[in-house]
């Protein structure tokens, strides 16, 4: 069983790619919707919430956990990996979304200017910048936080002209810098993928973050048979949320494109 954690519903865009690239596994998706969004919260708070999510998913017998949330990957993952796991879950692992995305960018030696757009927590952590620089110190990295996008998407306003205007405003500084590649560093942004591509034009490659993370997970599973995460004939996905299951179902249809059945509410 593979655990997928997000602050709420956005991580379903990542799960969608997992189900496409790695369809033969059982998954548990856990969305902490009652405490979302994480993007405006402090590091301590995000770390505390993420630890609880990790406890929950390991208690559900997940053999590996993927933190789909960029804000949690940026603000909590390193501490989880370096301090929490060795002490509480030796031999287990939790992965995030930042390494796969920066590796994808850094492997293209023609790329010199990179744009990153994300929540405030993600951008202020500088996690993408730090990791990109480790792989290629010559990269020029331009970042922008876009705190209004998550609520607009959750409100179903993705196709509204107001949202396009706001998106344009957020992307403008990156466009002016002529970034060659853009990392949409937030689980919700794939919903705006087309709009982002249109604004950035053909001159900028917009990463399909879910697909990159899914391919990287595929490689990881191949390289780490010791986790014994078996493929199954009739895979299932169980959903858990800390908030209302009705809203989760409606939003899940939008993010995942399928009707989801097995949703349970949990209190942490
Ligand atoms: N899942 C979050 C992320 O990827 C976006 C929503 C939030 O702020 O909690 O950063």
Domain boundary among 161, 190, 209: 209
Pair (165, 238) in one structural domain? no
What CATH number is associated with residue 38?
A: 3.40.50.1860
Instruction: Evaluate: CB of 37 within 6 angstroms of ligand 1.
Output: yes
CA 175 to each of CA 76, 87, 170: distance values in angstroms, whole numbers, following the listed order: 30, 44, 10
Mean of pLDDT values over 34-63: 97
Q: Return the residue matching tokens 């559900």.
A: 60
Strand ordering across the sheet containing 64-67: 93-95, 64-67, 2-6, 27-31, 237-241, 263-265
Q: Does the active-site annotation cover 62?
A: no
Same domain, 43 and 82: yes
Q: Are residues 178 and 48 in the same domain?
A: no
Residue 135 has pLDDT above 90, yes or no: yes
Q: What is the pLDDT of residues 198-221, one digit of tens each?
A: 999 999 999 999 999 999 999 999
Residue 44, classed as helix, strand or coil, is: helix
- CA of 204 from ligand 1 middle (Å) equals 24
Q: Is the CB of 145 under 6 A from ligand 1?
A: no
Rounded to the nearest 10°, the torsion over CA 73, 177, 154, 190 is -70
Q: What mean pLDDT do residues 148-177 have?
A: 96
List the residue whose alpha carbon is closest to atom 2 of ligand 1. Answer: 69
Tell me how far the alpha carbon of residue 186 lies from the centroid of ligand 1, in angstroms.
6
Q: Across all residues in the chain, what is the average pLDDT? A: 96
pLDDT of residue 154: 87
Mean pLDDT, range 9-24, rounded to an integer? 96
Element (H, E) at 116: strand 113-118
When pLDDT is averaged across residues 37-48 and rounded to a whole number, the result is: 97
Count of Cβ atoms closer than 10 Å to residue 165 Cβ: 10
Among residues of the chain, what percentage have pLDDT more than 90? 93
- Closest ligand 1 atom to Cα of 118: 10
Please state the atom number of ligand 1 nearest to the C-alpha of residue 186: 4
Note whether 229 and 200 are same-domain residues.
no
Q: Give the domain range for residue 59.
A: 2-96+211-265
Confidence of residue 149 (pLDDT cuts 50, 70, 90): very high
Q: How far from 43 is each of 71, 75, 77, 123, 176, CA to CA, in Å? A: 9, 5, 11, 12, 31
CA 51 to chain centre: 16
Looking at the fold, whether 124 and 194 belong to one and the same domain comes out as yes
Assess contact for 31 and 6: CB atoms under 8 A: yes
Q: Are residues 118 and 143 both part of a single domain?
A: yes
What distance in angstroms lies between residue 258's CA and the mean position of ligand 1's atoms?
21
Same domain, yes or no: 179 and 123: yes
State percent of the chain over pLDDT 70.
Answer: 100
- Distance set, CA 215 to CA 80, 110, 114, 147 (Å): 23, 22, 21, 28
Looking at residues 132-154, what average pLDDT do you find?
A: 97
pLDDT at 174: 98
Q: Would the pLDDT of 262 be above 90? A: no
pLDDT computed for residue 17 by the predictor: 97
pLDDT tier for residue 138 given thresholds of 50, 70 and 90: very high
Q: Is 50 in the pocket of ligand 1 (CB under 6 A)?
A: no
pLDDT score of 175 more than 90: yes
Residue 69 annotated in active site = yes
At 268 the pLDDT is 86
Of 19, 261, 148, 177, nearest in space to 11 by CA: 19
Amino acid 225: pLDDT = 93
DSSP state of 34: G
76, 46 Cβ separation under 8 angstroms? yes
> For a substitution probing ligand 1, which of 4, 5, 8 has the most ligand atoms within 8 Å of its CB?
8
Number of separate domains in the chain: 2
Q: What does the alpha-carbon distance between residue 151 and residue 246 come to, in Å, rounded to a whole number? A: 18
Same-domain pairing of 205 and 104: yes
- What ligand 1 atom has the least distance to the C-alpha of 39? 8
Residue 188 CA: nearest ligand 1 atom is 5
Domain end marker among 182, 209, 236:
209
Kindly state the average pLDDT of the residues 161-182: 98
Q: Are residues 88 and 221 in the same domain?
A: yes
DSSP 258: S
Tell me the best of 69, 76, 124, 146 to mutate to test the pocket of ligand 1, counting ligand atoms within 8 Å of each CB and taking the most.
69
Task: Give the model's confidence band at 254: pLDDT under 50 very low, under 70 low, under 90 confident, else very high.
Answer: confident
- For 46-112, give the DSSP string: HHHHHHHHHHHHHHTT-SEEEE--HHHHHHTHHHIIIIIHHHHSTT-EEE-SHHHHHHHHHT-TT--
Residue 261 has pLDDT above 90, yes or no: no
Q: Are residues 150 and 222 in the same domain?
A: no
Question: Does ligand 1 come within 6 angstroms of the Cβ of 17?
Answer: no
Radius of gyration over every alpha carbon of the chain, rounded to an integer in angstroms: 18
Same domain, 121 and 111: yes
- What pLDDT, on the 0 to 100 scale, is given for residue 207? 98
Tell me, what's the pLDDT at 257? 86
Query: 188 and 228 share a domain?
Result: no
Mapping DSSP to helix (H, G, I), strand (E, B) and coil, where does residue 178 land? coil
């Amino acid at each position: 069983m593979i655990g997928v954690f997000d602050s709420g519903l956005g991580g379903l865009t990542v799960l969608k790619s997992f189900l496409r690239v790695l369809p033969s596994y059982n998954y548990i998706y856990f969305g902490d919707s009652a405490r979302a969004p994480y993007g405006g919260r402090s590091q301590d708070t995000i770390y505390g919430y993420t630890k609880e999510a990790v406890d929950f998913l390991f208690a559900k017998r997940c053999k590996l956990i993927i933190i789909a949330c960029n804000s949690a990957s940026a603000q909590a993952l390193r501490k989880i990996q370096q301090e929490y796991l060795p002490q509480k879950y030796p031999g287990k692992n939790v992965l995030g979304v930042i390494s796969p995305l920066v590796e994808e960018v850094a492997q293209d030696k023609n790329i010199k200017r990179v744009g990153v757009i994300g929540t405030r927590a993600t951008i202020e952590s500088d996690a993408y910048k730090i990791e990109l620089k480790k792989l290629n110190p010559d990269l020029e990295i331009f970042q922008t936080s876009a705190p209004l996008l998550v609520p607009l998407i959750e409100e179903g306003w993705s196709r509204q002209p107001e949202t396009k205007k706001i998106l344009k405003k957020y992307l403008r500084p990156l466009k002016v810098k002529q970034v060659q590649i853009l990392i949409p560093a937030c689980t919700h942004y794939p919903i705006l993928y087309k709009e982002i591509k249109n604004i950035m034009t053909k001159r900028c490659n917009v990463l399909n973050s879910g697909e990159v993370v899914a391919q990287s997970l595929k490689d990881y599973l191949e390289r780490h048979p010791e986790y014994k995460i078996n493929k199954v004939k009739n895979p299932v996905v169980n959903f858990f949320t800390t908030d209302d299951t009705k809203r989760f179902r409606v939003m899940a249809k939008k993010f995942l494109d399928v009707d989801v059945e097995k949703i349970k509410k949990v209190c942490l």
